[in-house]
Structure 1
């Protein structure tokens, strides 16, 4: 059985993510990482189930001899940063990111604040299922302590990513913290940098995380930006590793347009390493065409910010992201960080001298059409008779396609992208009929 998905282990709290799984998974993690300082950092978002999971994790780690530092609700990227900054052997974040409150998950980081490789994840899974952990006795049993003031370290770190010659004086910003992990830290940072800050969805009660709020539901943010006549709005998801931007007119900025604007900004400041960026296979071809005129190369990865980061490391890049809002500035963060992305976005806005509706609208997107098919089986696509030929036909027409199985459902997802919407729909219909005949 496979435990790890694209971003840690995730499922319904109390059903999939139980105290027993949490404790054993923590022990497996502890026994698979190098033990140097004997400390592991544990943070969480604002879900009620976080208490249950946190206590189970602490129990497991102390049972195998680790000392645990508990820091309470903090963004996922803060755990990555603080794990390295506080010289811990590893870090654990309890969060199901943008999922509803009844889900939860466990994400792991190594001593340098990096997400784990697939090889390490396989080792942890193997150890988990072996279920014969080396429990300590006597003075070798670990201890835990809760520290509530580490938020200051993270705030200083985030503010250092903002250009020192700029400030946010006179800028009105609306923040939607999704009743999640950024509910304290996000308004603090923007206030300290001088912005006129209006914060919404910043009263977590354990059950309202992501509920009609934040990056997954930016409609409320859009209406508040218009109501308060703000210059810009930022929405974070439950663990604050994702960002959605709303311009002064209340329009949601497309994720690829945001990536394009930020890549252009770094390029103009000569801060785009190797003049290239990493995006996923989901990113629009219009982004690639826009960046090409500045000589910026685009590398593509599988879906998931973890895979974007792998491509960034492979080609020595310092910028990349997903159209969903996971954006990685590796000069400042080891993973997607919504707060770093928000500060870089607002720095670009100020230096552009434009309104947000102009600054983040530098190119047109290619029409994209997509659908999904419920399938009864998931054979490898390359082994389906005739699949290669029909996909080549789409490519010959000059259109990009993406055909992949869902990682969580019995579905085949189909996407066709090109310059003409009508033609793209025709090609999508052709692909849909073909794969239905083979898989349904």
Structure 2
């Protein structure tokens, strides 16, 4: 049985994510990572089930001799930063990100604040299923303590990513914290930089995280931006590693247009390392064509911000992201950080001298059409007779395709993208009919 998905271990709290799973997983993590300082940092988002899971994790870690630092509700990127900053051997974040309140998850970081490699995840899984942990006794049992003032360290760190010559005086910003982990820290950062801040969905009760709020439901942010005549709106998800932007007209800024504008901004300032950007296979081809005009190279990864980060490390880049809003500025953060991304976005708008609607509209997207096919069995695509020829026929037409199985459902996902919507639709229909005949 595989525990780790694309971002930690996730499932329904009390059903899959149980106290015993959390405790044993924490012990497996503690026994796999190198033990130097003997400290592990634990944070969480605002879900009610976080109490249950946190106590189980603390129990497991102290049982194998670690001292645990609990910092309560904080964004996932804060855990990554503070794990390294506080010289911990590892960090654990309890969150299911953008999922509903009844789900929860456990994310792990190494002593440098980086997400774990696949090899380490596999080693943790093996240790978990061996289930013969080295429990301590007597004075070797660990202890835990809760620290509430580390929020200040993270705020200072995030503010330092904002250009020193700029300030937000007179800028009106609406922030939707999704009743999640950034409900305290997000408005504080923008207020301290001088902005006129209106915060919505900042009253978590354990069950309203992501509920009709935040990055998953930016339509409510859009309403408030128009209502308050704000200059820009930012929506975070439950653990604040994702950002969605709304312009002054209440229109959603497409994720690829946001990535393109930010890459262009870094390029103009001479801060785009190796003049390249990492995106996933889902990003629109128009983004690639736009950046080519400036000599910016685009590298693609599998879907998932951890894969974007892998490509960034491989190509020695400092910028990348997903169209869904996970944006990584590795000069300032170890992982996607919605608050760092928001500060860079507003800095770009200010330096451009334009309104957000114009600043983020640097190119038009190519039409994309997509569909899903239900399948009974996920036969590897390379083993389907005629599939390679069929896909090449789409490429010969000058259109891009993406055909992949869902990671969570028995579905084949198909996408075709090109310069004409009608032609893209025809090619998608051709692909759909072909794969239906082979897989149904």
Query: Does TM-score exceed 0.5, indicating one fold?
Result: yes
Partner of 2:268: 268
Q: Secondary structure at the match of 1:96?
A: coil
Partner of 1:85: 85
Summarize deviations over 1:320-357 as a string: whole Å, max 9, x none. 00000000000000000000000000000000000000
RMSD between aligned alpha carbons? 0.4
Matched ranges for 1:58-69 at <5 A: 58-69=58-69
For 1:217 and 1:436, the matched residues in 2 are separated by 33
Partner of 2:390: 390
Partner of 2:178: 178
Query: Does residue 140 of structure 1 match 2:173?
Result: no
For 2:118 and 2:265, the matched residues in 1 are separated by 33
Partner of 2:16: 16
Partner of 1:322: 322
For 1:89 and 1:125, the matched residues in 2 are separated by 19
Matched ranges for 1:17-416 at <5 A: 17-416=17-416
Cα drift, residue 104 of structure 1: 0.2
Partner of 2:437: 437
Partner of 1:425: 425
- Number of residue pairs matched by the alignment: 440
Q: Secondary structure at the match of 2:413?
A: strand
For 1:388 and 1:183, the matched residues in 2 are separated by 49
For 1:42 and 1:406, the matched residues in 2 are separated by 31
Q: Secondary structure at the match of 1:312?
A: helix
Cα drift, residue 379 of structure 1: 1.2
For 2:142 and 2:86, the matched residues in 1 are separated by 17
For 1:379 and 1:22, the matched residues in 2 are separated by 33
For 2:432 and 2:4, the matched residues in 1 are separated by 30
For 1:308 and 1:388, the matched residues in 2 are separated by 26
- Give 5+ residue unaligned stretches, structure 2: none
Normalising by structure 2, report the TM-score.
Answer: 1.00
Q: Secondary structure at the match of 1:416?
A: strand
Summarize deviations over 1:69-93 as a string: whole Å, max 9, x none. 0000000000000000000000000
For 1:384 and 1:40, the matched residues in 2 are separated by 47
For 1:379 and 1:140, the matched residues in 2 are separated by 51
Summarize deviations over 1:183-216 as a string: whole Å, max 9, x none. 0000000000000000000000000000000000
Cα drift, residue 374 of structure 1: 1.0
Q: Secondary structure at the match of 2:277?
A: strand
Cα drift, residue 437 of structure 1: 1.1
For 2:244 and 2:162, the matched residues in 1 are separated by 18
For 2:415 and 2:163, the matched residues in 1 are separated by 39
- Give 5+ residue unaligned stretches, structure 1: none
Summarize deviations over 1:215-267 as a string: whole Å, max 9, x none. 00000000000000000000000000000000000000000000000000000
For 2:246 and 2:435, the matched residues in 1 are separated by 38
Cα drift, residue 439 of structure 1: 1.2
Q: Secondary structure at the match of 2:145?
A: strand
